[in-house]
Structure 1
């Protein structure tokens, strides 16, 4: 816990996240954003889902450094939004899922290499914290759809070796919607634990989610799920699932998605309130879903909206300690818990045989 607290209290390099000052005598523009900016300077946003790799793969040219208007994610906007880490999701082509996964991983690495003053690749909680301490935005590769691994434990291990750190189980043949997990699916979950990869249950059935939570020794995540009690989107989580998730120290990353949480910033805040109340403050996080093709709530079309969202939560009476968990602490805890589980599993067992 001391290590985690140190990371929560760490700051970026001086000046990296400073906000521009308003002109003297400028008229008031609504609630004072400064408390939110001050809080985010110490506890930046760990964004649980960004679709930038898929968007960039379709562009003939881009430059994220000075600002790129063909995308919703670039370095200036990430800085203004006080983002400290992002999960960059992979977009797969159905006709060649494995090849496209490899191409997307290669793209992520090339983009990070191109902007070393702004981005740093991270594969662990310590690496995300180190990137933040040096004023960089940590990029974690994943989630990828389960089709990237197919039915092969060996392919899953190869993807992990290349840097993939999260897998979405929905749509996998070994995680059928009606019956939970096949025997191979149970092997896959145990291997994800052994490798130290995040298990994303977004879009899985209740039967699958409960079975995975029962088997997994590591905390699981929902990377793009609001509260089903407030919005009936099929990827949103029921109160029953949120209760189980909270009891098992998992994490629901509530998305900035007009379809999943509603068209207004206050709608997203309502979902955050609900998940926090049902699952607990240790089980709620944020997911931008930018560059994913989804419409966003007004004011949250890119990362620059996070300070306004935090201002709304402060106005609703959220204590700073809960917001620190929401923005950074919970994601860091889940990454660290996944790593601890992997170390313990590797000491106990050898990798299972490859399944083709």
Structure 2
């Protein structure tokens, strides 16, 4: 993406000063589902809270919208024990932004997937409107920072599944107009073990033009590499850890981590026992490894809460991020690297995708290509 980046002469705008310490009002740490670490030296935990107050967490994946479909009644601002996420725990965990997944666990397929994704999107917007004191919809880095500065948690839409497009670029444009920011490139007819088809590459170019970020978790190595070659914007792996430490199929081998770092992408390490291990130390091992192999600007966090997966005992819900940061500080992580991990790297990807979209829109009209024309 270097050729396009050379053309981007950007000026400061809303969100450009996001990395300056701006306190996120999380309140006083109180006993709850994530009690203080029982250690005579509380210094690291206190430092973790102070650091997160200035550089809160941008969580790369939440299944909350799907989990809420199965509850007859809930109040996220008061607190909701039936799920892993609510406003009090988001504040306790210093979570200032979260990507709400529009994935469909039941996988209806075809045109039904388009409608089901729209239902999910509508539910997210309804939930956010119903909790205005704690949540706020956001689409870009500036709006995300504004929500944080107002004491709200910014909710960004995505990732959605690739089948949500119904193989239509028009549907992609409609989803973007409704606020979609991230789209998975796994599981569609135009992407697979052989990589992106011609239509798949056209989808990716249109995503670049619109500012929709590619999610490569679960995609084949050939799709990942072709995305790095074609895309003019950075990609995310919203639920991928280090395969060298745990051989889960969604985790990335070191060669792909190196390429991800070189392409300016982001590996968002999930807090799940299946992919990273049963303890907070296991999660920290993956963060250490990704930071070493891909670089400190290519690692971030993905809670994957409310997805039905088991979490490390110390990281049972969104309130527990300070415990993870405490472990990283004890390992000698610089505060600047922690700030990139929690907040700065996600902000950088959002800004870069938007800058690339503006440049693309000056060069390229909306694509009218169809899958029948290119892959038929």
Q: TM-score, with normalisation over the residues of structure 2?
A: 0.90
Partner residue in 2 for 1:227? 242
User: Judging changes above 3 Å, is the alpha-carbon distance between structure 1 residues 206 and 115 closer, same or farther for their aligned structure 2 residues?
Assistant: same
Deviation at 1:305, TM superposition (A): 1.2
1:209-249 Cα shifts (integer Å, max 9, x gaps): 00011100000010000000000000000100100010111
Deviation at 1:109, TM superposition (A): 0.4
- Quick check: 1:11–1:133 contact (8 Å CA) kept in 2? yes
Aligned CA-pair RMSD:
1.6
Q: Give, in whole Å, the separation in 2 of the partners of 1:61 and 1:55.
A: 12
1:66 aligns with 2:75: no
Partner residue in 1 for 2:153? 137
Deviation at 1:298, TM superposition (A): 1.2
- Quick check: 1:10–1:133 contact (8 Å CA) kept in 2? no
Equivalences, count: 349
Partner residue in 1 for 2:186? 170
1:102 aligns with 2:114: no
1:16-75 Cα shifts (integer Å, max 9, x gaps): 2232479xxxx9821521100000000000000000010011211111111101110100
Q: Give, in whole Å, the separation in 2 of the partners of 1:109 and 1:351.
A: 27
Q: Give, in whole Å, the separation in 2 of the partners of 1:21 and 1:143.
A: 32
- Quick check: 1:224–1:235 contact (8 Å CA) kept in 2? yes
Partner residue in 1 for 2:3? none
Alignment of 1:4-15 (within 5 A): 6-12=17-23
1:78 aligns with 2:87: no
Deviation at 1:94, TM superposition (A): 2.3
SS of equivalent to 2:196: coil
Moved over 4 A (4+): 1-5
Counterpart pick for 1:261 among 240, 252, 276: 276
Counterpart pick for 2:293 among 265, 270, 278: 278
1:29 aligns with 2:42: no
Alignment of 1:115-130 (within 5 A): 115-130=131-146
Unmatched segments (≥5 aa) in structure 2: 1-10, 372-376
- Quick check: 1:166–1:199 contact (8 Å CA) kept in 2? yes
Partner residue in 2 for 1:57? 69
Partner residue in 1 for 2:225? 210
1:80-131 Cα shifts (integer Å, max 9, x gaps): 0000100000132422211110001000101110111111100111110111
